[in-house]
Each structure stands twice: as C-alpha cells, then as structure tokens.
Chain A
C-alpha cells in the first residue's frame, strides 16, 4: 500500500473531500484515516492561530484535483468577464489591506510618498496590462494581468492599423491620469511645487512619469512597426506571386485549352510550365547553369524538351564545376538526348541519370525507342553515334551505346575528372 502511495503524486481528492479535498487527498496517499486527519488539522489550526488554514488554502490552489481538474491557478487564467472582475477587485483590496498593514506596523514611507507611489504603480500596471491585452488580441476580456487590472476591457483590434494605434494610446488615458495624478500628489504633498531649488527633483519626477506613460506606447509602436513592415513585405510578396501566376500559369492554361486537340502539344506546354514554376519557386537555391554541371545538364534536357516536345526526366547526383572535360561530356549528353528525342518512337520519357563523383562522372541517357543495332544503323544515327563516342574518346573518356533488353537504347558516358580514363571505382 505504501509503495503504491508513494508513486502517485499528491492530489486533491474531490470525490471524498469535505471542502476542497486536500485532507482527503493526503489521506488517500498516506493511508491515514481522514477523520483523524481532520481532527488533527482542526487542532493544528487552533494551535497555530489560523496559519494552518493558510497552508490549506495554498494547497487547495496549487494541487490539481484527482479527477483531472486543473489547479486553481490554471483555472484563474480561464476566467472571463464578471468573475475575472471579482477576482481583480478581491486581489486589489487584499493588496490595499497589505499596504495598510505595513503602514500600521511602521514599515512605511511617509504618506506623501507612499500613496503617490502606489497610485503610480497601479496606473503603470493598467497601462502595461492594456498592452498585453491588445497584443494578445483578446477583445471583451479583461487585461492579462488580473491583480490590478480591475474593470478594464481590452480594446478591439477590428480597426485599421493607424487608428487602432491611437485608440490604444488613448485607451490608456486612465492609466495616464493615474500616473499624472500620482506625480502631482507627490509633488504637492512634499511641497516641492513651490520651491525653485527643488526644480531638479520636480523635473525628475516629471520625466519618470512621462516615461511610465510613454513606455508601453513606444514599445508597442516599435513592435507594431516591425509587425507592419513584415506585413507589408508579406503583402508585397503576395502581389508578386499573383502577378507571376497571372502572367505565366494563366496564359499557359489558356493556351492548353486552345490546343486541347493536340495531346502532345498540351503535354509539352504543361511540362514547360511545370518546369518554369518549379524554377521560380526554387529561384534562390539553384546555382546558375554556367558554373554547375548539374545545372547545365538540366538546362540541356529542358532545351530538348522544349524543342522536340519530349519529356526528359533528369536525376543528378552530386555536382561539380564546368571545365574542358565536362564540356565534352555535356556536348555528348546533349547529342544523346537529341538523338533519343528525334528517333525514339515511343513518346515515353527519356531518362538522364548523372553521377558526379570526386574522381569520375558518369551519365546515362536511356530512351524507350525501338533501339538500334549498332551495325545496322541508319547513316544518320551512325553519324550521331560518332559524335557521341568520338567526342568522349577525344576528351579522354568513354562512351557506349547499347540496346536494352526491355526495349530502348541506353547511352552511357564516363569520364575521369583528373585526366584518367575514368576508372570504375565501384
């Protein structure tokens, strides 16, 4: 029993409790008869003159209930309207009582100092609480700082940005008046207003009061400003997006509707637009085609797509800079693609796969055409084959053209990056 009890956290047992279930919860956890606990607690309360009651209240507020209810403090945050007002008034009065108690005990500045201070603190708290409420955009509920924010309701944010900012400034007028009143009270009750030699102190008080009043407003302004700028940037971007979509995608869609009878044309248009949209979306992230082999390969594939209404799927692993050797590779790849596009009977996608490693580059171009017999190729193709194989060999790499068992042709190109003939490292 005790082993089990020690594992479960202390909770209020509201099912068996008389008042708040604190003692019942303790009973459940420790196994002591709750009646005993209650009697003991009563004696303790009398003996300590009520301090035990205070402990009970603290436990009540802090411990969650056993059936899943939240703690009292969490409950406070959910309060709305009239109940929140009562809590605020209650806490305000209790604070006042505490202040008065300190005054009675002698722990007090002079009346002329302490009351203006209290008023100023209350006013400043009001101003900051309005700030929180408006920032969180909670209309209709009281400010986010319950203890001293009695009776204030957050201003609505339905207004356009400019006038809402000033509504917030003006809505702090009560806080402003409190702080000003506190300053004046302080000055007058300390007979400072009359003396010239206290002008410095008067100035300091005025500056402090102004600071208290303006601080939330300035902070709000700064935050709003940043927020507004972000908002403006966002709306600009949205405008750009809308313009771009209008210029490109809408046009393409219109064109596609007009050419609906030609499926290849429609497919080509769609592919082109898709590519263009992807490029636009990834605009910053791709290196330009004149320094990157991968980009150059993609660009070549795109050109072939455009010119011959073909579909080319490009997969490139790795990347490197362009140099003389890769130029050759690039040329050969282009030829292979052109070849596939021109002669592939099956309009299925041409696949280009490139592997760019540190010492070696390999490119494969595969199409689904009927394939060709190296020996029995048409002169046209033979010439092209020459241009592919010959080019690679002249550059120090190698090329191979072969037919695939499933139908189609694969052109494979390989070149080493450091001048070797491209050894296979695998």
Chain B
C-alpha cells in the first residue's frame, strides 16, 4: 500500500475533462459521430463547469478532503 500521494485533484480532474473533449473532437473528425453546435455547447459548459467546481472544492495545491 502506498502512503499518501500528493495527488492534485484539480489537475487530475481538469486533465480528464480536457482529454474527454479531445476524444469527442477526434470522434467527430474521424466521422464516428457528428457533434453539432448544440452538443458541443453542452460538452463545453459541462467541462468548464466541472473544472470550476473541482477547483472550488479542491482547494489549495495538493490538498485532500
């Protein structure tokens, strides 16, 4: 078992969110899905909102709880 890692929750969540957006764009460009302006609005709002939320809750650098 590892002892307490200094995981920066905010960076983690933001990275995950950005990667998810990248995957969405990749799927659109590759022709798998067609993302319309309406859906990209949903995705972008949700992404930025989640980042703000986590940064507000996650607190200072490297904080848990």
8 Å CB contact of A69 from B7, B50, B54, B65: B65
* Cα distance, A289 to B55, chains bound together (Å): 73
Interface pair B5/A14, CB less than 8 Å apart: no
Interface pair A83/B57, CB less than 8 Å apart: yes
Interface pair A34/B49, CB less than 8 Å apart: no
Interface pair B2/A93, CB less than 8 Å apart: no
One digit per residue, 1 when the CB lies within 8 angstroms of any chain B CB and 0 when it does not, for chain A 68-105 equals 01101001100100011111111111111110110110
Residues of A within 8 A of B41 (CB): 97, 100
One digit per residue, 1 when the CB lies within 8 angstroms of any chain A CB and 0 when it does not, for chain B 28-51 equals 000000001011011111101111
Name the interface residues of A356-371: CB closer than 8 Å to any CB of B: none
Interface pair A86/B4, CB less than 8 Å apart: no
8 Å CB contact of A89 from B12, B39, B43, B52: B52
* Cα distance, A65 to B48, chains bound together (Å): 27
A contact residues, range: 35 or more
* Cα distance, A24 to B64, chains bound together (Å): 14
Residues of B within 8 A of A91 (CB): 49, 53
Residues of B within 8 A of A14 (CB): 4, 64-65
Chain B at the A interface: SS class: helix
8 Å CB contact of B57 from A16, A65, A76: A76
What is the count of residue pairs linking A and B with beta-carbon distances less than 8 angstroms?
A: 91
Residues of B within 8 A of A250 (CB): none
Interface pair A101/B52, CB less than 8 Å apart: no
Name the residue of chain A whose CB is nearest to the CB of B4.
Answer: A15
One digit per residue, 1 when the CB lies within 8 angstroms of any chain B CB and 0 when it does not, for chain A 206-231 equals 00000000000000000000000000
> Is A260 located at the chain interface by the 8 A CB criterion?
no
With A15-B3, A18-B5 already in contact, the answer to whether A86 and B38 are too (CB < 8 A) is no
With A103-B38, A104-B39 already in contact, the answer to whether A93 and B56 are too (CB < 8 A) is no
Name the residue of chain A whose CB is nearest to the CB of B45.
Answer: A97
8 Å CB contact of A93 from B12, B45, B55: B45
* Cα distance, A268 to B11, chains bound together (Å): 80
Residues of B within 8 A of A103 (CB): 38
8 Å CB contact of A104 from B3, B42, B51: B42
Interface pair A34/B53, CB less than 8 Å apart: no
* Cα distance, A104 to B51, chains bound together (Å): 23
Residues of A within 8 A of B57 (CB): 72, 75-76, 79, 83, 87
Interface pair B59/A90, CB less than 8 Å apart: no
Interface pair A16/B42, CB less than 8 Å apart: no
Nearest chain A CB to B52 CB, angstrom units = 3
Name the residue of chain A whose CB is nearest to the CB of B1.
Answer: A16
Name the residue of chain A whose CB is nearest to the CB of B37.
Answer: A104
Name the interface residues of B1-35: CB closer than 8 Å to any CB of A: 1-5, 7, 9, 12
Residues of B within 8 A of A18 (CB): 2, 5, 7
Name the residue of chain B whose CB is nearest to the CB of A70.
Answer: B65
Interface pair B46/A94, CB less than 8 Å apart: yes
Interface pair B38/A100, CB less than 8 Å apart: yes
Name the residue of chain A whose CB is nearest to the CB of B49.
Answer: A93
* Cα distance, A239 to B44, chains bound together (Å): 63
* Cα distance, A69 to B3, chains bound together (Å): 18
Residues of B within 8 A of A19 (CB): 7, 9, 12
Interface pair B38/A104, CB less than 8 Å apart: yes
Residues of A within 8 A of B7 (CB): 18-19
With A14-B4, A18-B7, A83-B56 already in contact, the answer to whether A90 and B45 are too (CB < 8 A) is no
Residues of A within 8 A of B3 (CB): 15-16
Interface pair B48/A86, CB less than 8 Å apart: no
Hey, which bits of chain B sit against chain A, CB under 8 A?
1-5, 7, 9, 12, 36, 38-39, 41-46, 48-57, 59, 64-65
A–B pairs, 19, beta carbons within 8 Å: A14-B65, A16-B2, A16-B3, A19-B9, A20-B9, A20-B64, A65-B64, A72-B57, A75-B65, A79-B57, A87-B52, A87-B56, A87-B57, A92-B49, A94-B46, A97-B43, A98-B46, A101-B42, A104-B38
Hey, which bits of chain A sit against chain B, CB under 8 A?
14-16, 18-21, 24, 34, 65, 69-70, 72, 75-76, 79, 83-98, 100-101, 103-104
